[in-house]
C-alpha cells in the first residue's frame, strides 16, 4: 500500500480517514477524488498532516475517463471506496442519485481497476487492493432480542439507500469471484464525530441545541442504533488493509446500542455542562417528537467478534467519551459550523425534511 486512491475523501468519514492515514503512515501518497456535493467540503481537509504526500482531484466516480487517468498517472495500488450517497431520508425523497452514485459509480471503479490491475499485471495482483466501505443497513432491521448482525446475516435492505449499498457490495464480491480482483469489504454501524454534515442525528441535535432550535425526534425515539466513533472506524479500516487476506468481509461497530432518544438526552446533558450560561438550558426542553419517516428500521446491532478474533481490533472510545469529544469539537469549530449553515442546499433540506414534518 503505497499509492492510494480514496473516493469521497472530502466527506465525513473519508476526510477523517485521509487525516488519520497521513498522520500514521509515513510512506504513502494519498490521492483524494471527490465530487464536492453538498456533504463534501474542502474545509474538511484544511491543515492536513504531511500535505506534500496528498493530492486532491475534484471529479465524479462515474467518470470512467477520469478514473482511468488517475490510476495510470499515480500508479494506484489501493482504492478505498468511501464515495456514496448515504442519507436514508434523502433516498426516500429522491432515490435516483443513490442508484447513480452507489451502484453505477461502484461499477465504474471496479471496471477501471479490473482493466488496469488485472489487464496490466495478469495473475500478479497480490499487491493491490480494492476496499469497499459499506453499512449495517444492508442487513435490514432487527426485532427486539434478535441476535446482532454478523457477516453471515442475509441481506434485507429496507430503503433505497440500503438497497443501493447492498447492490454495490454484491458487485464488489462478484468482481473478486469472477475476475480475481483482490478486495475487502467492511460494513460499519452509525458513525459520529468531527466534520459530520449536520443532516445526521448527532450533529443536527448539537447545532440546533446551541442556537435554541427544536430537536426533532422521529416517532417515539426508540429506534436503536450501534454508534461508532469515526476515529475508531478509521483504525479498523487500516487494520483490515494491513492485516486481512483478500476476499474477507468484516463488521465494524462500537458495541453499544442505545435508543435515539437516549442519544439526544445525553447530548443535552453534555451541552448543559459545557454551556452553563446558555439561555437554552436545560437543552432537553428543546426536544420535540415529529412524524416518523417511512419504513424506519427499528433496531441495528453489530456482532464484531470476527474482526476482534482475526485482526485484534476493537473500539477504543466508549459512547460517553466519544459524544463528549464530538460535542466539544462542534463547540470549538464555529467557523466550520457557520460555513455549513450558510449553504442554501443545507437550509432548504432542513426545512423540507424536518420543519415541515410536524408532530
* 210, 136: one domain: no
Q: What pLDDT score does 102 carry?
A: 95
Q: Choosing from 34, 77, 89, 137, which is the catalytic residue?
A: 137
Cell numbers at residue 281, please? 438550558
Is 161 annotated as catalytic?
yes
CATH code, domain with 207: 3.90.25.10
Burial 96-130 (b: 16+ CB within 10 A, else e): eebbebbbbbbbbbbbbbbebbbeeeeeebeebbb
Q: What pLDDT score does 280 carry?
A: 97
Q: Choosing from 89, 136, 235, 265, which is the catalytic residue?
A: 136
Q: Is residue 352 part of a domain?
A: no
CATH code, domain with 96: 3.40.50.720
pLDDT category, 199, cuts 50, 70, 90? Answer: confident
| Percent of the chain whose predicted confidence (pLDDT) is above 90 | 77
**pLDDT for residue 354 is more than 70:** no
pLDDT digits (tens, 9 = 90+) for 240-273: 999 999 999 999 999 999 999 999 999 999 999 9
Q: Is residue 356 part of a domain?
A: no
* 176, 36: one domain: yes
* 51, 160: one domain: yes
Q: Quote the CA–CA distance of 359 and 349 in Å, as a whole number.
A: 18
**pLDDT for residue 97 is more than 60:** yes
SS3 state at 243: helix
Give the mean model confidence (pLDDT) for residues 220-226: 92
Q: Is residue 216 part of a domain?
A: yes
Number of domains within the chain: 2
Q: Choosing from 54, 116, 161, 354, which is the catalytic residue?
A: 161
Q: What pLDDT score does 126 carry?
A: 76
* 219, 77: one domain: no
As a whole number, the mean pLDDT across the chain is 92
* 161, 206: one domain: no
Q: What pLDDT score does 90 carry?
A: 80
* 236, 219: one domain: no
Is 250 annotated as catalytic?
no
* 304, 322: one domain: no
pLDDT category, 38, cuts 50, 70, 90? Answer: confident
**pLDDT for residue 123 is more than 70:** no
Q: Please tell me what DSSP assigns to residue 293.
A: P
Is 137 annotated as catalytic?
yes
Domain of 31 in residue numbering reads as: 3-189+227-254+299-312
pTM listed for this prediction:
0.93
Amino acid at each position: 500500500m503505497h499509492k492510494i486512491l480514496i473516493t469521497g475523501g472530502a466527506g465525513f468519514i473519508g476526510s477523517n480517514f485521509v487525516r488519520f492515514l497521513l498522520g500514521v503512515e509515513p510512506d504513502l501518497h494519498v490521492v483524494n477524488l471527490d465530487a464536492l456535493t453538498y456533504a463534501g467540503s474542502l474545509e474538511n481537509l484544511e491543515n492536513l498532516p504531511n500535505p506534500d504526500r496528498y493530492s486532491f482531484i475534484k471529479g465524479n466516480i462515474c467518470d470512467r475517463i477520469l478514473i482511468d487517468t488517475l490510476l495510470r498517472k499515480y500508479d494506484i495500488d489501493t482504492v478505498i471506496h468511501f464515495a456514496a450517497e448515504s442519507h436514508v431520508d434523502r433516498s426516500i425523497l429522491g432515490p435516483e442519485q443513490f442508484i447513480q452514485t452507489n451502484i453505477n459509480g461502484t461499477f465504474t471503479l471496479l471496471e477501471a481497476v479490473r482493466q488496469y490491475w488485472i489487464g496490466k499485471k495478469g495473475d500478479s495482483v497480490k499487491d493491490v487492493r480494492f476496499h469497499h466501505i459499506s453499512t449495517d443497513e444492508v442487513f435490514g432491521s432487527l426485532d427486539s432480542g434478535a441476535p446482532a448482525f454478523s457477516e453471515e446475516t442475509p441481506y434485507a435492505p429496507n430503503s433505497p439507500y440500503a438497497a443501493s449499498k447492498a447492490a454495490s457490495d454484491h458487485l464488489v464480491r462478484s468482481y473478486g469471484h469472477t475476475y480475481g480482483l483482490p478486495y475487502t469489504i467492511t460494513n460499519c454501524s452509525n458513525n459520529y464525530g468531527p466534520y459530520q454534515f449536520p443532516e445526521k442525528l448527532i450533529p443536527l441535535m448539537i447545532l440546533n441545541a446551541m442556537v435554541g432550535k427544536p430537536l426533532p425526534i422521529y416517532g417515539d425515539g426508540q429506534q436503536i442504533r450501534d454508534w461508532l466513533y469515526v476515529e475508531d472506524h478509521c483504525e479498523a479500516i487500516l487494520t483490515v488493509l494491513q492485516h486481512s487476506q483478500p476476499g474477507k468481509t468484516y463488521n465494524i461497530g462500537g458495541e453499544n446500542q442505545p435508543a435515539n432518544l437516549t442519544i439526544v438526552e445525553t447530548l443535552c446533558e453534555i451541552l448543559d455542562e459545557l454551556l452553563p450560561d446558555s439561555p437554552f438550558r436545560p437543552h432537553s426542553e428543546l426536544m420535540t417528537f415529529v412524524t416518523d419517516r417511512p419504513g424506519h428500521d427499528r433496531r441495528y446491532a453489530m456482532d464484531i467478534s470476527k474482526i476482534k478474533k482475526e485482526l485484534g481490533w476493537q473500539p477504543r472510545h466508549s459512547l460517553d467519551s466519544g459524544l463528549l469529544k464530538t460535542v466539544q469539537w462542534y463547540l470549538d469549530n464555529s467557523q466550520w459550523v457557520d460555513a455549513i449553515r450558510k449553504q442554501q442546499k443545507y437550509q432548504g433540506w432542513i426545512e423540507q425534511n424536518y420543519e415541515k414534518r410536524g408532530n
